[in-house]
Structures are given as structure tokens and as C-alpha cells.
Homo-oligomer: A and B are copies of this chain.
Amino acid sequence: MATIRDVAQLAKVSTATVSRVINSNGYVNEGTIKRVKEAIEQLNYFPNDVARSLFKGRSKMIALFVPDITNPFFPELARAIEDVTNRHDYTFVLCNTDSDIHKTTNYLNALQQKSADGFIIVSGSLTEDHLKNIQAPIVALDRIISTDISSVTVNNRIGSRQAVNYLRSLGCRRIAHIAGPEHVDNAIYRMRGYLDEVKHEDWFDSSYVVSGAYHFETAREAAVHLLTNNPRIDGIFAGNDLMGTAVLNAAASLDIKVPEDLAVIGFDGISMGERVTPALTTMAQPIYDMGAEAAEILIKQIRTPSQKVMREAFKVKLIERQST
């Protein structure tokens, strides 16, 4: 394999000049840059990034932690993050944590050993204490970890109130909620937003809230149960779109017509919601923008260690489709 000396010899410059061209620092005139680049290409020379990261203590590697990439919300986030990390020449590492703290901390330690530059973490159960040995910057995405860690989220509670009010404006009188997992902050805020709106209604009791755990199957079963036991329900606010599509599925299996007999609204704005029949109305998060913003904040923090904690909360937006 070619070395930096071979490149210098062929381009008729010093190795220091080759290094300046490779690292884009210090002045080198255009003609020399061209010659060095041609020599690099001709010799198929690769400056050794491993050696460079040993020297700098960095690997140009950013990791995303998600519970499970097969949940359709996460590929859309991952795509945005990878676009930004790639643009900035970072390698994008993906870890599925299964929301398991032990697995998560194992990943963190392993990646710290590999000098990962930073972490973007979607986790409902990680606390600051689990992160006390992690030196690299962290951005919490979709779910907050602590006030001392930068985060990118949405206005879950207000967005959920809007969802319930929208169902009401369509004439729904008894609105139920399929909630996400109890240990996930955004699920809690979405449930609170729902409760803010309905808890003083005379028809309301706790049987109108069931857990769907952000899983399709769990939510489908919960919805079947809910609709069978409470036939007067005429609107459902699902805590995410995956559970919203599960409600549509449950309604079809019970021969309940959507939107005529039941209006359904989800939360997230994933592509799947547009693709099912009837298409799912939703409070859409700007998923791509959120992922991209999390990556941009992380890269800022990597480059400027003095960068202060940033907390971005995007707004959700009603997208009306056939399910309402």
C-alpha cells in the first residue's frame, strides 16, 4: 500500500505539504494541491484515519441509539441524522437498545473505547447517572434525559390538546386515548395533554385510557378491547401513528366504519400513516428536521466543547387525512 512518502515523491513536494493538502490546513497553492491530489489518486493512497484518530483522540464517528430501528418512526430519524453526519464526514453508527439499560451502557462503553465523538440518544429510561463516565457530547432526541443534556423534542402536551380539540370540532363526544409506555416522557406528556382536555367531562373515567406501549400488536389488542367494552366511543387519539394504524386495523376487524362511526388521529407523521386505508390523520412532527437538528447540535458540541446546552422544541402540525 502507498505511503505519504510515495505521494510526496510523485508530486515532488514534502510530506508536510501532502499532509496540509489532506487535512486542508495551511496555505498550499492551487497547482500543488492539484498535483498532490493526482498523486494520491494515481497511487490509491489512503491517509490512515485510524492513526489520525489515535493522535487526535477522535474517530470521526457519531452513534445513534434507538430502541428498535424496525419501529417505523426511527428509520426516518436515522436517515436525517445520517445525511448530516455524512455531509460532515462522520461515520454513522446505529445501536438498537431494546430500551434495555444494560445493553445501552454496554454500547456506550464500547463506543467510548473506540473514541466515538458523540451520541444521539432516544431513550426513555437512561438517566444522567448512567452517563457519568461518558466524556463525549450527547444530544437527547425525542425524549429528554436531563436538563443538563441538550435535547430536540416537540411540544407533546400542547400538540395532544390540539389533537383532542380537533376531534371535538368534528363532533366527537367520547374520545379515548391509546397511550405509550409509562416510562417514556413523551408518552406521559401526550397522555397529560389528552387528560387536560377530557378529565372534567361527565362521561370520562379511566377506562377511556388504555396502554398500547407504542407497539402495533399491543395497541391493536387494546383498541379491540376498548371498542368492544365502550361502544359509545366516537373518537380515538392514539399516542403515535403506529398505534393509530393499529386502531384502524382493530376498527376494520370489528366492522366499525372510519371515519363515519369512529374518527382516529395519531401523532408522529410517519410515511406509513399516508399509506394505509383510510389514510391516518395525525399531529405530525417534523421528523426529518428534528433528526437533522440533533445532528447539527451534536457536531457543534463536538467542535466547541464550551458550547452551552441547547434545548429545541419543535411544533407539531395537524395533517388531515381520511381517518377523520
The residues of A with any CB-CB pair to B shorter than 8 Å are: 44, 46-51, 53-54, 57, 59-61, 68-70, 72, 74-76, 78-79, 82-83, 86, 89, 91-96, 107, 109-115, 133, 216, 245-246, 248-249, 252, 271-272, 275-277
Contact = CB atoms under 8 A, between A and B. Distances in A.
Contact of A216 (B49, B248, B275): B275
8 contacts: A46-B109, A46-B112, A48-B115, A49-B115, A75-B75, A86-B95, A91-B110, A277-B277
B78 A69 contact: yes
Identical copies of this chain, number = 2
Contacts of A252: 277
Nearest to A246: B275
Given A44-B133, A51-B54, A94 B78 contact: yes
A32 B264 CA distance: 62
The 8 closest A-B pairs by CB, nearest first: A49-B113, A252-B277, A49-B114, A69-B75, A46-B113, A94-B94, A70-B75, A50-B115
Contacts of A53: 50, 114
A253 to B, nearest CB: 8
A321 B301 CA distance: 50
A179 B248 CA distance: 29
Contact of A70 (B271, B276, B277): B271
A75 B75 CA distance: 7
Given A74-B75, A249-B275, A277-B252, A94 B82 contact: yes
A95 B82 contact: yes
A114 B93 CA distance: 13
B59 A70 contact: no
Nearest to A242: B275
A312 to B, nearest CB: 22
Nearest to A258: B277
Contacts of A86: 95-96, 107
A246 to B, nearest CB: 7
Contact of A54 (B50, B95, B111, B249): B50
A50 to B, nearest CB: 5
Given A59-B50, A69-B69, A277-B249, A91 B111 contact: yes
